[in-house]
A and B are shown apart, each in its own frame.
Chain A
Protein backbone atom coordinates (compact mmCIF):
# COMPACT_ATOMS: atom_id res chain seq x y z
CA UNK A 1 0.00 0.00 0.00
CA UNK A 2 2.93 2.32 0.76
CA UNK A 3 4.22 1.98 -2.81
CA UNK A 4 0.79 2.87 -4.19
CA UNK A 5 0.50 5.81 -1.78
CA UNK A 6 3.92 7.21 -2.69
CA UNK A 7 3.24 6.75 -6.38
CA UNK A 8 -0.12 8.53 -6.05
CA UNK A 9 1.59 11.50 -4.40
CA UNK A 10 4.28 11.58 -7.07
CA UNK A 11 1.72 11.28 -9.82
CA UNK A 12 -0.42 14.16 -8.55
CA UNK A 13 2.41 16.53 -7.64
CA UNK A 14 1.49 18.66 -10.65
CA UNK A 15 -2.08 18.93 -9.35
CA UNK A 16 -0.78 19.98 -5.92
CA UNK A 17 1.32 22.71 -7.47
CA UNK A 18 -1.33 23.86 -9.96
CA UNK A 19 -4.37 23.94 -7.68
CA UNK A 20 -2.18 25.08 -4.77
CA UNK A 21 -0.96 28.11 -6.71
CA UNK A 22 -4.52 29.01 -7.74
CA UNK A 23 -5.75 28.88 -4.15
CA UNK A 24 -2.64 30.60 -2.77
CA UNK A 25 -3.05 33.51 -5.18
CA UNK A 26 -6.78 33.74 -4.58
CA UNK A 27 -6.19 34.03 -0.83
CA UNK A 28 -3.17 36.31 -1.07
CA UNK A 29 -4.96 38.73 -3.40
CA UNK A 30 -7.95 39.01 -1.08
CA UNK A 31 -6.05 39.60 2.17
CA UNK A 32 -4.76 43.15 1.53
CA UNK A 33 -8.32 44.37 0.86
CA UNK A 34 -9.47 43.51 4.37
CA UNK A 35 -8.56 46.90 5.85
CA UNK A 36 -10.31 48.78 3.06
CA UNK A 37 -13.55 46.87 3.62
CA UNK A 38 -13.27 47.01 7.41
CA UNK A 39 -12.78 50.80 7.39
CA UNK A 40 -15.73 51.46 5.11
CA UNK A 41 -18.44 49.35 6.69
CA UNK A 42 -20.85 52.29 6.93
CA UNK A 43 -20.64 52.95 3.20
CA UNK A 44 -21.16 49.28 2.39
CA UNK A 45 -24.04 49.15 4.79
CA UNK A 46 -25.80 51.91 2.86
CA UNK A 47 -25.06 50.30 -0.46
CA UNK A 48 -26.09 46.81 0.51
CA UNK A 49 -29.25 47.92 2.27
CA UNK A 50 -30.57 48.65 -1.19
CA UNK A 51 -30.70 44.88 -1.79
CA UNK A 52 -33.07 42.41 -0.12
CA UNK A 53 -31.57 40.65 2.87
CA UNK A 54 -32.71 37.29 1.48
CA UNK A 55 -30.27 37.69 -1.41
CA UNK A 56 -27.35 37.90 1.00
CA UNK A 57 -28.68 34.99 2.98
CA UNK A 58 -28.70 32.96 -0.21
CA UNK A 59 -25.07 33.78 -0.93
CA UNK A 60 -23.66 33.22 2.55
CA UNK A 61 -25.87 34.36 5.42
CA UNK A 62 -23.88 37.45 6.27
CA UNK A 63 -24.67 40.83 7.50
CA UNK A 64 -22.47 43.67 6.39
CA UNK A 65 -21.03 44.24 9.85
CA UNK A 66 -19.38 40.83 9.54
CA UNK A 67 -17.14 42.35 6.87
CA UNK A 68 -15.43 44.35 9.58
CA UNK A 69 -14.35 41.21 11.46
CA UNK A 70 -11.50 38.97 10.24
CA UNK A 71 -13.65 35.85 10.56
CA UNK A 72 -16.56 37.43 8.70
CA UNK A 73 -14.34 38.83 5.99
CA UNK A 74 -12.54 35.54 5.39
CA UNK A 75 -15.85 33.67 5.43
CA UNK A 76 -17.51 35.94 2.88
CA UNK A 77 -14.50 36.45 0.63
CA UNK A 78 -12.92 33.05 0.81
CA UNK A 79 -14.41 30.10 2.67
CA UNK A 80 -18.19 30.24 2.35
CA UNK A 81 -18.50 30.05 -1.43
CA UNK A 82 -15.35 30.21 -3.52
CA UNK A 83 -13.01 27.84 -1.66
CA UNK A 84 -15.58 25.10 -1.32
CA UNK A 85 -16.74 25.37 -4.93
CA UNK A 86 -13.25 25.60 -6.49
CA UNK A 87 -11.83 22.78 -4.42
CA UNK A 88 -15.12 20.89 -4.72
CA UNK A 89 -14.59 20.70 -8.47
CA UNK A 90 -11.03 19.55 -7.85
CA UNK A 91 -12.01 16.66 -5.56
CA UNK A 92 -14.81 15.60 -7.89
CA UNK A 93 -12.39 15.34 -10.79
CA UNK A 94 -9.72 13.62 -8.72
CA UNK A 95 -12.08 11.28 -6.91
CA UNK A 96 -13.93 10.16 -10.02
CA UNK A 97 -10.66 9.43 -11.83
CA UNK A 98 -8.74 7.96 -8.92
CA UNK A 99 -9.15 4.39 -10.21
CA UNK A 100 -11.45 4.66 -13.20
CA UNK A 101 -9.07 7.09 -14.91
CA UNK A 102 -6.53 4.30 -15.13
CA UNK A 103 -9.21 1.79 -16.00
CA UNK A 104 -10.50 3.82 -18.94
CA UNK A 105 -6.99 4.35 -20.28
CA UNK A 106 -6.24 0.60 -19.98
CA UNK A 107 -3.51 1.03 -17.35
CA UNK A 108 -5.34 -0.64 -14.48
CA UNK A 109 -5.08 -4.02 -16.20
CA UNK A 110 -1.30 -4.00 -16.03
CA UNK A 111 -1.19 -2.58 -12.49
CA UNK A 112 -3.50 -5.29 -11.18
CA UNK A 113 -1.55 -7.96 -13.03
CA UNK A 114 1.18 -7.23 -10.48
CA UNK A 115 1.15 -8.48 -6.89
CA UNK A 116 -0.93 -5.70 -5.46
CA UNK A 117 -4.36 -6.51 -4.08
CA UNK A 118 -7.37 -4.47 -5.05
CA UNK A 119 -7.68 -3.49 -1.38
CA UNK A 120 -4.11 -2.17 -1.21
CA UNK A 121 -4.52 -0.31 -4.47
CA UNK A 122 -7.80 1.22 -3.39
CA UNK A 123 -6.74 2.41 0.05
CA UNK A 124 -3.27 3.42 -1.11
CA UNK A 125 -4.83 5.63 -3.77
CA UNK A 126 -7.43 7.01 -1.35
CA UNK A 127 -4.80 7.90 1.23
CA UNK A 128 -2.83 9.56 -1.54
CA UNK A 129 -5.97 11.49 -2.51
CA UNK A 130 -6.40 12.69 1.08
CA UNK A 131 -2.74 13.68 1.28
CA UNK A 132 -2.92 15.58 -2.02
CA UNK A 133 -6.02 17.45 -0.80
CA UNK A 134 -4.31 18.28 2.49
CA UNK A 135 -1.23 19.53 0.63
CA UNK A 136 -3.38 21.87 -1.48
CA UNK A 137 -5.18 23.09 1.63
CA UNK A 138 -1.82 23.71 3.29
CA UNK A 139 -0.67 25.86 0.37
CA UNK A 140 -4.04 27.63 0.43
CA UNK A 141 -3.59 28.29 4.16
CA UNK A 142 -0.16 29.80 3.46
CA UNK A 143 -1.88 32.11 0.98
CA UNK A 144 -3.91 33.54 3.85
CA UNK A 145 -1.45 33.57 6.74
CA UNK A 146 1.65 34.84 4.94
CA UNK A 147 0.09 38.14 3.79
CA UNK A 148 -1.78 38.53 7.10
CA UNK A 149 1.05 40.66 8.48
CA UNK A 150 0.21 43.30 5.85
CA UNK A 151 -3.27 43.75 7.34
CA UNK A 152 -4.71 44.68 10.72
CA UNK A 153 -6.09 41.15 11.19
CA UNK A 154 -4.93 39.79 14.48
CA UNK A 155 -5.76 36.14 13.99
CA UNK A 156 -3.47 33.33 15.00
CA UNK A 157 -2.22 31.01 12.27
CA UNK A 158 -3.92 28.15 14.07
CA UNK A 159 -7.27 29.97 14.02
CA UNK A 160 -7.03 30.41 10.26
CA UNK A 161 -6.35 26.68 9.97
CA UNK A 162 -9.69 25.74 11.58
CA UNK A 163 -11.93 26.49 8.55
CA UNK A 164 -9.51 24.48 6.43
CA UNK A 165 -10.17 21.48 8.67
CA UNK A 166 -13.90 21.90 8.15
CA UNK A 167 -13.25 22.34 4.41
CA UNK A 168 -11.15 19.16 4.40
CA UNK A 169 -14.04 17.24 5.95
CA UNK A 170 -16.57 18.31 3.33
CA UNK A 171 -14.09 17.82 0.47
CA UNK A 172 -13.50 14.25 1.64
CA UNK A 173 -17.24 13.62 1.45
CA UNK A 174 -17.48 14.90 -2.12
CA UNK A 175 -14.29 13.10 -3.16
CA UNK A 176 -15.44 9.79 -1.68
CA UNK A 177 -18.87 10.25 -3.26
CA UNK A 178 -17.26 10.81 -6.67
CA UNK A 179 -15.16 7.69 -6.15
CA UNK A 180 -18.24 5.67 -5.26
CA UNK A 181 -20.10 7.02 -8.30
CA UNK A 182 -17.15 6.02 -10.48
CA UNK A 183 -17.49 2.45 -9.18
CA UNK A 184 -21.22 2.36 -9.92
CA UNK A 185 -21.60 4.40 -13.10
CA UNK A 186 -20.31 3.49 -16.56
CA UNK A 187 -17.69 6.20 -16.97
CA UNK A 188 -15.52 8.69 -15.16
CA UNK A 189 -17.26 11.65 -16.78
CA UNK A 190 -20.69 10.42 -15.66
CA UNK A 191 -19.37 9.99 -12.13
CA UNK A 192 -17.88 13.49 -12.09
CA UNK A 193 -21.10 14.95 -13.46
CA UNK A 194 -23.19 13.17 -10.84
CA UNK A 195 -20.84 14.37 -8.11
CA UNK A 196 -21.10 17.90 -9.52
CA UNK A 197 -24.88 17.65 -9.39
CA UNK A 198 -24.71 16.64 -5.72
CA UNK A 199 -22.35 19.53 -4.94
CA UNK A 200 -24.49 22.13 -6.68
CA UNK A 201 -27.73 20.70 -5.28
CA UNK A 202 -26.25 20.73 -1.80
CA UNK A 203 -25.18 24.34 -2.25
CA UNK A 204 -28.58 25.44 -3.54
CA UNK A 205 -30.51 23.63 -0.80
CA UNK A 206 -28.37 25.07 2.02
CA UNK A 207 -28.59 28.56 0.47
CA UNK A 208 -32.35 28.34 -0.05
CA UNK A 209 -32.80 27.10 3.49
CA UNK A 210 -30.94 30.12 4.89
CA UNK A 211 -33.07 32.43 2.77
CA UNK A 212 -36.32 30.76 3.79
CA UNK A 213 -35.32 30.69 7.45
CA UNK A 214 -35.08 34.50 7.33
CA UNK A 215 -38.74 34.56 6.38
CA UNK A 216 -39.60 32.06 9.09
CA UNK A 217 -40.14 29.28 6.58
CA UNK A 218 -38.72 25.98 7.83
CA UNK A 219 -39.82 23.75 4.97
CA UNK A 220 -36.22 22.79 4.05
CA UNK A 221 -35.09 22.38 7.63
CA UNK A 222 -35.08 18.57 7.48
CA UNK A 223 -33.81 18.20 3.91
CA UNK A 224 -30.85 20.50 4.47
CA UNK A 225 -29.52 18.24 7.20
CA UNK A 226 -28.91 15.57 4.59
CA UNK A 227 -26.61 17.78 2.55
CA UNK A 228 -22.87 17.76 3.29
CA UNK A 229 -22.58 21.54 3.05
CA UNK A 230 -24.91 21.98 6.04
CA UNK A 231 -22.06 20.66 8.19
CA UNK A 232 -19.43 22.83 6.57
CA UNK A 233 -18.77 25.80 8.81
CA UNK A 234 -16.78 27.98 6.45
CA UNK A 235 -15.45 31.17 8.05
CA UNK A 236 -17.47 30.56 11.23
CA UNK A 237 -14.98 27.86 12.18
CA UNK A 238 -12.42 30.58 12.97
CA UNK A 239 -14.31 31.36 16.13
CA UNK A 240 -14.59 27.67 17.06
CA UNK A 241 -14.56 24.45 15.10
CA UNK A 242 -17.49 22.10 15.57
CA UNK A 243 -15.45 18.94 16.06
CA UNK A 244 -18.56 16.77 16.08
CA UNK A 245 -19.53 17.96 12.61
CA UNK A 246 -15.99 17.44 11.33
CA UNK A 247 -15.89 13.92 12.71
CA UNK A 248 -19.33 13.31 11.20
CA UNK A 249 -18.16 14.47 7.76
CA UNK A 250 -15.09 12.27 7.97
CA UNK A 251 -17.22 9.32 9.09
CA UNK A 252 -19.58 9.78 6.13
CA UNK A 253 -16.65 9.99 3.74
CA UNK A 254 -15.22 6.81 5.28
CA UNK A 255 -18.58 5.07 4.82
CA UNK A 256 -18.76 6.14 1.17
CA UNK A 257 -15.18 4.98 0.68
CA UNK A 258 -15.94 1.58 2.22
CA UNK A 259 -18.89 1.16 -0.17
CA UNK A 260 -16.68 2.11 -3.12
CA UNK A 261 -14.00 -0.35 -1.95
CA UNK A 262 -16.60 -3.10 -1.56
CA UNK A 263 -17.74 -2.52 -5.12
CA UNK A 264 -14.20 -2.28 -6.50
CA UNK A 265 -13.28 -5.63 -4.93
CA UNK A 266 -16.11 -7.37 -6.69
CA UNK A 267 -16.33 -5.85 -10.12
CA UNK A 268 -14.57 -6.69 -13.38
CA UNK A 269 -11.75 -4.46 -14.51
CA UNK A 270 -12.96 -3.06 -17.78
CA UNK A 271 -11.00 -2.66 -20.97
CA UNK A 272 -12.46 -1.50 -24.23
CA UNK A 273 -15.66 -0.28 -22.61
CA UNK A 274 -17.29 -3.58 -21.75
CA UNK A 275 -19.60 -3.43 -18.76
CA UNK A 276 -20.82 0.04 -19.63
CA UNK A 277 -24.45 0.97 -19.63
CA UNK A 278 -26.30 0.94 -22.92
CA UNK A 279 -29.00 3.42 -23.57
CA UNK A 280 -30.91 1.28 -26.01
CA UNK A 281 -33.64 3.80 -26.61
CA UNK A 282 -31.11 6.41 -27.76
CA UNK A 283 -29.34 3.83 -29.92
CA UNK A 284 -32.63 2.86 -31.48
CA UNK A 285 -33.45 6.46 -32.31
CA UNK A 286 -30.04 7.00 -33.88
CA UNK A 287 -30.37 3.91 -36.05
CA UNK A 288 -33.82 4.99 -37.13
CA UNK A 289 -32.54 8.44 -37.98
CA UNK A 290 -29.88 6.98 -40.27
CA UNK A 291 -32.40 4.94 -42.21
Chain B
Protein backbone atom coordinates (compact mmCIF):
# COMPACT_ATOMS: atom_id res chain seq x y z
CA UNK B 1 0.00 0.00 0.00
CA UNK B 2 1.33 3.34 -1.03
CA UNK B 3 1.45 5.60 2.02
CA UNK B 4 0.57 8.53 -0.19
CA UNK B 5 -2.88 7.01 -0.69
CA UNK B 6 -5.65 7.54 1.83
CA UNK B 7 -7.80 4.92 0.21
CA UNK B 8 -7.57 2.47 -2.64
CA UNK B 9 -9.97 -0.01 -4.12
CA UNK B 10 -9.14 -2.57 -6.77
CA UNK B 11 -11.72 -4.58 -8.61
CA UNK B 12 -14.33 -4.00 -5.92
CA UNK B 13 -17.49 -5.97 -6.61
CA UNK B 14 -20.74 -6.21 -4.70
CA UNK B 15 -24.10 -7.68 -5.59
CA UNK B 16 -27.46 -7.60 -3.84
CA UNK B 17 -29.10 -10.73 -5.08
CA UNK B 18 -29.28 -10.38 -8.83
CA UNK B 19 -28.43 -6.66 -8.74
CA UNK B 20 -24.75 -5.98 -9.42
CA UNK B 21 -24.16 -2.77 -7.48
CA UNK B 22 -20.38 -2.63 -7.96
CA UNK B 23 -18.71 -4.27 -10.93
CA UNK B 24 -15.03 -3.74 -10.34
CA UNK B 25 -14.51 -0.31 -8.82
CA UNK B 26 -10.93 0.96 -9.00
CA UNK B 27 -10.12 4.10 -7.06
CA UNK B 28 -7.09 5.80 -5.58
CA UNK B 29 -7.52 8.80 -3.33
CA UNK B 30 -4.39 10.64 -2.25
CA UNK B 31 -3.82 11.78 1.29
CA UNK B 32 -4.85 15.37 1.87
CA UNK B 33 -6.95 15.83 -1.25
CA UNK B 34 -10.62 16.54 -1.74
CA UNK B 35 -11.98 13.86 -4.02
CA UNK B 36 -15.43 14.09 -5.57
CA UNK B 37 -17.36 10.96 -6.38
CA UNK B 38 -20.02 11.58 -8.97
CA UNK B 39 -22.81 9.43 -10.24
CA UNK B 40 -26.57 9.25 -10.49
CA UNK B 41 -28.76 7.42 -8.00
CA UNK B 42 -28.03 3.71 -7.94
CA UNK B 43 -24.63 4.05 -9.61
CA UNK B 44 -22.83 2.57 -6.58
CA UNK B 45 -21.58 5.63 -4.67
CA UNK B 46 -23.13 4.77 -1.31
CA UNK B 47 -22.32 1.08 -1.69
CA UNK B 48 -18.65 1.99 -2.21
CA UNK B 49 -18.60 4.20 0.88
CA UNK B 50 -20.33 1.51 2.98
CA UNK B 51 -17.72 -1.03 1.87
CA UNK B 52 -14.97 1.36 2.98
CA UNK B 53 -16.45 1.42 6.49
CA UNK B 54 -17.05 -2.35 6.62
CA UNK B 55 -20.79 -1.83 6.94
CA UNK B 56 -21.15 -4.23 4.04
CA UNK B 57 -18.68 -6.81 2.76
CA UNK B 58 -17.64 -6.74 -0.89
CA UNK B 59 -17.95 -9.94 -2.89
CA UNK B 60 -14.57 -9.43 -4.48
CA UNK B 61 -11.65 -7.05 -4.88
CA UNK B 62 -9.41 -5.39 -2.36
CA UNK B 63 -9.64 -2.16 -0.45
CA UNK B 64 -7.41 -0.24 1.90
CA UNK B 65 -8.41 2.73 3.99
CA UNK B 66 -5.58 4.73 5.57
CA UNK B 67 -3.38 1.75 4.84
CA UNK B 68 -5.69 -0.64 6.67
CA UNK B 69 -8.00 -3.41 5.60
CA UNK B 70 -11.43 -2.28 6.89
CA UNK B 71 -12.55 -5.87 7.43
CA UNK B 72 -9.52 -6.71 9.53
CA UNK B 73 -9.30 -3.37 11.37
CA UNK B 74 -12.80 -1.86 11.29
CA UNK B 75 -12.53 -0.07 14.61
CA UNK B 76 -9.26 1.66 13.77
CA UNK B 77 -10.53 2.69 10.34
CA UNK B 78 -13.66 4.18 11.87
CA UNK B 79 -11.74 5.83 14.70
CA UNK B 80 -9.67 7.71 12.15
CA UNK B 81 -12.60 8.49 9.83
CA UNK B 82 -15.62 10.72 9.96
CA UNK B 83 -18.78 9.62 8.15
CA UNK B 84 -21.82 11.52 7.02
CA UNK B 85 -24.55 9.21 5.70
CA UNK B 86 -26.85 10.19 2.88
CA UNK B 87 -29.71 10.54 5.31
CA UNK B 88 -29.01 11.02 8.98
CA UNK B 89 -31.03 8.73 11.25
CA UNK B 90 -30.59 9.08 14.98
CA UNK B 91 -32.89 8.64 17.96
CA UNK B 92 -35.63 11.16 17.47
CA UNK B 93 -36.43 11.65 21.15
CA UNK B 94 -32.89 12.66 22.05
CA UNK B 95 -31.73 16.25 22.02
CA UNK B 96 -29.03 17.25 19.57
CA UNK B 97 -26.57 17.59 22.45
CA UNK B 98 -27.42 14.09 23.74
CA UNK B 99 -26.85 12.66 20.26
CA UNK B 100 -23.48 14.39 19.97
CA UNK B 101 -22.48 13.20 23.46
CA UNK B 102 -23.52 9.62 22.70
CA UNK B 103 -21.50 9.42 19.52
CA UNK B 104 -18.60 11.18 21.19
CA UNK B 105 -18.76 8.53 23.94
CA UNK B 106 -18.51 5.87 21.21
CA UNK B 107 -15.31 7.68 20.18
CA UNK B 108 -14.09 7.48 23.78
CA UNK B 109 -14.65 11.21 24.16
CA UNK B 110 -12.12 12.14 21.48
CA UNK B 111 -13.96 15.27 20.37
CA UNK B 112 -12.89 18.66 21.58
CA UNK B 113 -16.18 20.05 22.87
CA UNK B 114 -15.22 23.65 22.25
CA UNK B 115 -14.62 22.68 18.61
CA UNK B 116 -18.05 21.02 18.52
CA UNK B 117 -19.67 24.21 19.78
CA UNK B 118 -17.62 26.22 17.28
CA UNK B 119 -18.87 24.14 14.32
CA UNK B 120 -22.43 24.21 15.63
CA UNK B 121 -22.25 27.97 15.96
CA UNK B 122 -20.94 28.37 12.41
CA UNK B 123 -23.76 26.19 11.14
CA UNK B 124 -26.26 28.05 13.28
CA UNK B 125 -27.25 24.79 14.94
CA UNK B 126 -29.03 24.89 18.28
CA UNK B 127 -28.03 21.91 20.44
CA UNK B 128 -31.06 22.04 22.74
CA UNK B 129 -34.02 20.83 20.58
CA UNK B 130 -35.02 17.22 20.21
CA UNK B 131 -34.03 15.65 16.92
CA UNK B 132 -37.67 14.94 16.02
CA UNK B 133 -38.32 18.68 15.99
CA UNK B 134 -35.51 19.46 13.56
CA UNK B 135 -35.92 20.28 9.89
CA UNK B 136 -34.13 18.15 7.30
CA UNK B 137 -31.50 20.83 6.91
CA UNK B 138 -30.82 21.02 10.63
CA UNK B 139 -30.56 17.23 10.83
CA UNK B 140 -27.97 17.45 8.08
CA UNK B 141 -26.04 19.95 10.17
CA UNK B 142 -26.01 17.46 13.06
CA UNK B 143 -24.51 14.93 10.68
CA UNK B 144 -21.85 17.38 9.57
CA UNK B 145 -20.89 18.08 13.20
CA UNK B 146 -20.74 14.33 13.93
CA UNK B 147 -18.44 13.76 10.98
CA UNK B 148 -16.09 16.61 11.79
CA UNK B 149 -16.06 16.82 15.57
CA UNK B 150 -13.08 14.53 16.23
CA UNK B 151 -10.91 16.07 13.48
CA UNK B 152 -10.62 12.82 11.49
CA UNK B 153 -7.84 11.93 9.07
CA UNK B 154 -10.42 10.90 6.50
CA UNK B 155 -13.88 12.26 5.82
CA UNK B 156 -16.37 10.07 3.97
CA UNK B 157 -19.31 12.26 3.09
CA UNK B 158 -22.39 11.08 1.26
CA UNK B 159 -24.08 14.18 -0.18
CA UNK B 160 -22.80 16.58 2.50
CA UNK B 161 -24.88 19.61 1.55
CA UNK B 162 -28.17 17.96 0.73
CA UNK B 163 -31.13 19.73 2.32
CA UNK B 164 -29.12 22.83 3.28
CA UNK B 165 -29.87 26.36 2.16
CA UNK B 166 -27.23 28.00 -0.12
CA UNK B 167 -25.70 29.94 2.75
CA UNK B 168 -25.21 26.81 4.82
CA UNK B 169 -24.04 24.84 1.78
CA UNK B 170 -21.29 27.38 1.40
CA UNK B 171 -20.42 27.15 5.11
CA UNK B 172 -20.22 23.35 4.97
CA UNK B 173 -17.93 23.57 1.94
CA UNK B 174 -15.74 26.00 3.84
CA UNK B 175 -15.56 23.58 6.76
CA UNK B 176 -14.55 20.80 4.37
CA UNK B 177 -11.84 22.94 2.79
CA UNK B 178 -10.58 23.95 6.24
CA UNK B 179 -10.43 20.29 7.24
CA UNK B 180 -8.46 19.58 4.07
CA UNK B 181 -6.10 22.45 4.91
CA UNK B 182 -5.44 20.75 8.24
CA UNK B 183 -4.47 17.56 6.43
CA UNK B 184 -7.77 15.68 6.27
CA UNK B 185 -8.53 13.66 3.16
CA UNK B 186 -12.07 14.21 1.93
CA UNK B 187 -13.94 11.68 -0.16
CA UNK B 188 -17.40 12.85 -0.94
CA UNK B 189 -20.23 11.95 -3.21
CA UNK B 190 -22.53 14.57 -4.57
CA UNK B 191 -25.16 15.40 -7.09
CA UNK B 192 -24.34 19.06 -6.78
CA UNK B 193 -21.70 19.37 -9.45
CA UNK B 194 -20.98 23.03 -8.87
CA UNK B 195 -19.86 22.27 -5.35
CA UNK B 196 -17.68 19.42 -6.60
CA UNK B 197 -16.17 21.80 -9.09
CA UNK B 198 -15.65 24.33 -6.30
CA UNK B 199 -13.75 22.18 -3.84
CA UNK B 200 -12.68 18.86 -5.38
CA UNK B 201 -9.19 18.55 -6.74
CA UNK B 202 -10.02 15.29 -8.48
CA UNK B 203 -13.22 13.56 -9.41
CA UNK B 204 -14.31 10.07 -10.29
CA UNK B 205 -17.42 9.34 -12.26
CA UNK B 206 -19.16 6.08 -11.52
CA UNK B 207 -21.74 4.57 -13.79
CA UNK B 208 -23.55 1.27 -13.30
CA UNK B 209 -21.05 0.16 -10.68
CA UNK B 210 -17.96 0.96 -12.76
CA UNK B 211 -15.69 3.99 -12.47
CA UNK B 212 -15.67 5.37 -16.00
CA UNK B 213 -13.46 8.39 -15.43
CA UNK B 214 -10.97 9.65 -12.85
CA UNK B 215 -9.35 13.01 -13.48
CA UNK B 216 -8.22 16.31 -12.04
CA UNK B 217 -11.33 18.44 -11.91
CA UNK B 218 -9.67 21.25 -13.88
CA UNK B 219 -8.20 18.98 -16.54
CA UNK B 220 -11.52 17.24 -16.97
CA UNK B 221 -13.09 20.58 -17.68
CA UNK B 222 -10.15 21.83 -19.77
CA UNK B 223 -9.86 18.84 -22.01
CA UNK B 224 -13.51 18.78 -22.72
CA UNK B 225 -14.96 20.46 -25.76
CA UNK B 226 -15.53 24.15 -25.44
CA UNK B 227 -17.60 26.49 -27.50
CA UNK B 228 -15.93 29.51 -29.10
CA UNK B 229 -17.87 32.46 -30.41
CA UNK B 230 -15.99 34.81 -32.77
CA UNK B 231 -17.12 38.04 -34.40
CA UNK B 232 -15.16 39.42 -37.34
CA UNK B 233 -14.85 42.91 -38.68
CA UNK B 234 -15.78 41.80 -42.22
CA UNK B 235 -17.26 38.59 -43.61
CA UNK B 236 -14.79 35.71 -43.77
CA UNK B 237 -15.00 32.25 -45.17
CA UNK B 238 -14.89 29.60 -42.49
CA UNK B 239 -12.96 27.10 -44.58
CA UNK B 240 -9.68 27.92 -42.92
CA UNK B 241 -11.15 27.38 -39.48
CA UNK B 242 -13.22 24.32 -40.26
CA UNK B 243 -10.20 22.40 -41.49
CA UNK B 244 -8.28 22.90 -38.23
CA UNK B 245 -7.90 19.69 -36.23
CA UNK B 246 -10.44 19.42 -33.39
CA UNK B 247 -12.51 22.35 -34.67
CA UNK B 248 -16.07 22.07 -35.88
CA UNK B 249 -18.30 24.88 -37.10
CA UNK B 250 -21.59 24.82 -35.25
CA UNK B 251 -23.16 27.97 -36.62
CA UNK B 252 -22.26 30.69 -39.11
CA UNK B 253 -24.17 33.96 -39.28
CA UNK B 254 -23.72 36.16 -42.40
CA UNK B 255 -19.98 35.55 -42.37
CA UNK B 256 -19.46 38.06 -39.58
CA UNK B 257 -19.84 35.71 -36.62
CA UNK B 258 -19.22 32.06 -36.15
CA UNK B 259 -19.76 29.54 -33.37
CA UNK B 260 -17.18 26.79 -33.15
CA UNK B 261 -16.75 23.69 -31.08
CA UNK B 262 -13.12 23.12 -30.14
CA UNK B 263 -11.76 19.91 -28.72
CA UNK B 264 -8.36 19.91 -27.06
CA UNK B 265 -5.85 22.77 -27.12
CA UNK B 266 -6.81 26.22 -28.42
CA UNK B 267 -3.36 26.98 -29.78
CA UNK B 268 -4.05 26.04 -33.40
CA UNK B 269 -7.25 28.05 -33.55
CA UNK B 270 -5.71 31.18 -32.08
CA UNK B 271 -2.82 31.05 -34.53
CA UNK B 272 -5.24 30.59 -37.42
CA UNK B 273 -7.33 33.54 -36.26
CA UNK B 274 -4.29 35.83 -36.49
CA UNK B 275 -4.97 36.02 -40.21
CA UNK B 276 -8.47 37.45 -39.67
CA UNK B 277 -9.76 40.81 -38.36
CA UNK B 278 -11.26 39.65 -35.06
CA UNK B 279 -13.57 42.08 -33.23
CA UNK B 280 -14.69 39.81 -30.40
CA UNK B 281 -13.71 36.41 -29.11
CA UNK B 282 -15.52 34.49 -26.38
CA UNK B 283 -14.98 30.99 -25.10
CA UNK B 284 -17.49 29.12 -23.08
CA UNK B 285 -16.28 26.26 -20.91
CA UNK B 286 -18.69 23.48 -20.24
CA UNK B 287 -19.65 23.11 -16.61
CA UNK B 288 -18.78 19.91 -14.82
CA UNK B 289 -22.44 19.16 -15.07
CA UNK B 290 -22.36 19.16 -18.86
CA UNK B 291 -19.27 16.96 -18.84
CA UNK B 292 -20.90 14.65 -16.36
CA UNK B 293 -23.95 14.34 -18.54
CA UNK B 294 -21.86 13.33 -21.52
CA UNK B 295 -20.98 10.16 -19.60
CA UNK B 296 -24.64 9.40 -19.30
CA UNK B 297 -25.70 10.04 -22.83
CA UNK B 298 -27.10 6.80 -24.09
CA UNK B 299 -27.31 5.62 -20.50
CA UNK B 300 -29.20 2.54 -21.57
CA UNK B 301 -26.03 1.17 -23.04
CA UNK B 302 -24.57 -1.13 -20.45
CA UNK B 303 -21.03 -0.39 -19.33
CA UNK B 304 -18.66 -3.20 -20.24
Contacts and interface: CB of A to CB of B under 8 A. Distances in A.
Interface of A: 3-4, 7, 11, 105-107, 109-118, 266, 268-269, 271, 274-275, 278
30 contacts: A3-B106, A4-B106, A11-B91, A105-B89, A106-B85, A107-B90, A107-B91, A109-B50, A109-B89, A110-B85, A110-B88, A110-B89, A110-B90, A113-B53, A113-B78, A113-B83, A114-B103, A115-B76, A115-B106, A115-B107, A115-B108, A116-B106, A118-B74, A266-B57, A268-B55, A268-B56, A268-B57, A274-B16, A275-B16, A278-B17
Contact of B56 (A4, A11, A118, A269): A269
B149 to A, nearest CB: 11
Contacts of A274: 16-17
A266 B81 CA distance: 22
B102 interface: yes
B102 A115 contact: no
A268 B55 CA distance: 6
Nearest to B109: A3
Contacts of B79: 115
- Of the candidates B50, B89, B107, B146, the one having the most CB atoms from chain A within 10 angstroms of its own CB is B89
A149 to B, nearest CB: 39
Interface in B28-42: none
Given A7-B102, A274-B17, 7 more contacts: A7-B105, A106-B89, A107-B89, A107-B90, A110-B103, A115-B76, A115-B106
A114 B106 contact: yes
Contact of B87 (A4, A7, A106): A106
B75 interface: yes
Contacts of B74: 117-118
Contacts, number: 64
Interface residue tally of chain B, by bracket? 20 to 34
A278 B75 CA distance: 33
A109 B85 contact: yes
A107 B53 CA distance: 15
Contacts of B55: 109, 112-113, 268-269
A262 to B, nearest CB: 15
What does DSSP make chain A's interface, helix, strand, loop or mixed? Answer: loop
A275 to B, nearest CB: 7
Greatest chain B CB density within 10 A among A7, A114, A116 is at: A114
Contacts of B87: 106
Contacts of B146: 110
A11 B93 CA distance: 10
A190 to B, nearest CB: 18
A4 B108 CA distance: 11
Contacts of B56: 268-269
B53 A112 contact: yes
A268 B51 CA distance: 10
B159 to A, nearest CB: 14
B147 to A, nearest CB: 9
Contacts of A105: 89
Contacts of B106: 3-4, 111, 114-116
B71 to A, nearest CB: 10
Which of A105, A109, A112, A113 neighbours the largest number of chain B CB atoms within 10 Å of its CB? A113
A271 B87 CA distance: 11
B102 to A, nearest CB: 6
A25 B155 CA distance: 52
Interface in B69-127: 74-76, 78-79, 81, 83, 85, 87-91, 102-103, 105-108
A275 B103 CA distance: 27
Contacts of A118: 74
Interface in B167-185: none
A105 B93 CA distance: 14
Nearest to B52: A113
A110 B84 CA distance: 8
Which residue, of A105, A107, A116, has the highest number of chain B Cβ atoms within 10 A? A116
Contact of B85 (A4, A113, A278): A113
A116 B75 contact: yes
A79 B93 CA distance: 35
Contacts of B85: 106, 109-110, 113
Nearest to B78: A115
A118 B88 CA distance: 20
Contacts of A114: 78, 103, 106-107
A120 to B, nearest CB: 8
Contacts of B90: 107, 110
A92 to B, nearest CB: 22
A202 B78 CA distance: 43
Nearest to A278: B17
A112 B81 CA distance: 12
Which 7 pairs, one residue from A and one from B, show the smallest C-beta to C-beta distance? Answer: A115-B79, A106-B89, A113-B83, A268-B56, A114-B106, A274-B16, A269-B55
A102 B27 CA distance: 31
Contacts of A113: 53, 55, 78, 81, 83, 85
Contacts of B17: 274, 278
